[in-house]
Amino acid sequence: GAGVSQSPSNKVTEKGKDVELRCDPISGHTALYWYRQSLGQGLEFLIYFQGNSAPDKSGLPSDRFSAERTGGSVSTLTIQRTQQEDSAVYLCASSFRTGTYEQYFGPGTRLTVT
């Protein structure tokens, strides 16, 4: 069975450009999470979606970050006007629902802003 997939696996972009990162969750999982892991740092929660409810955006570090989830499945994380401090591995996870359900992680997208 397919796990969580993310694309691209690596992205190098110039400072100031916009980037889009994609996450395909496990089929049937209604909850989808985005996390960030900066080099040598711990994991940081960014945003989660549960079904058709409004997403919890409380972890987004600035208004340059936004995320969508179309049709309750695929999600896109967009970073506008990228900065060097945005360089990190962006991880997506999905679970059956939010709360007390195991999360399954994708392989991540390594973003480098030059």
Partner 1 sequence: KNEVEQSPQNLTAQEGEFITINCSYSVGISALHWLQQHPGGGIVSLFMLSSGKKKHGRLIATINIQEKHSSLHITASHPRDSAVYICAVYANDMRFGAGTRLTVKP
Q: Is 70 helix (H, G, I), strand (E, B) or coil?
A: helix
Query: How many H-runs (helices) and E-runs (strands) does the chain carry?
Result: 0, 10
The reply to whether 72 sits near partner 1 by the rule CB under 8 A is: no
How many whole angstroms separate alpha carbon 86 and alpha carbon 31?
24
Residues in the chain: 114
How many whole angstroms separate alpha carbon 68 and alpha carbon 58?
14
CA distances, 46 to each of 2, 14, 43, 63, 114 (Å): 24, 22, 10, 12, 22
Binding-site size, partner 1 (CB under 8 A): 23
Closer by beta carbon to partner 1, 91 or else 113: 91
The reply to whether 105 sits near partner 1 by the rule CB under 8 A is: yes
The reply to whether 58 sits near partner 1 by the rule CB under 8 A is: yes
**Judged by CB under 8 A, which of 19, 48, 60, 77 binds partner 1?**
48
**Judged by CB under 8 A, which of 60, 91, 111, 113 binds partner 1?**
91
- Using CB under 8 A, which of the segments 14-22, 52-60, 71-79, 80-88 binds partner 1? 52-60
Residues at the site binding partner 1, with contacts judged by CB under 8 A? 33, 35, 42-45, 48, 56, 58-59, 89, 91, 93, 98-105, 107-108
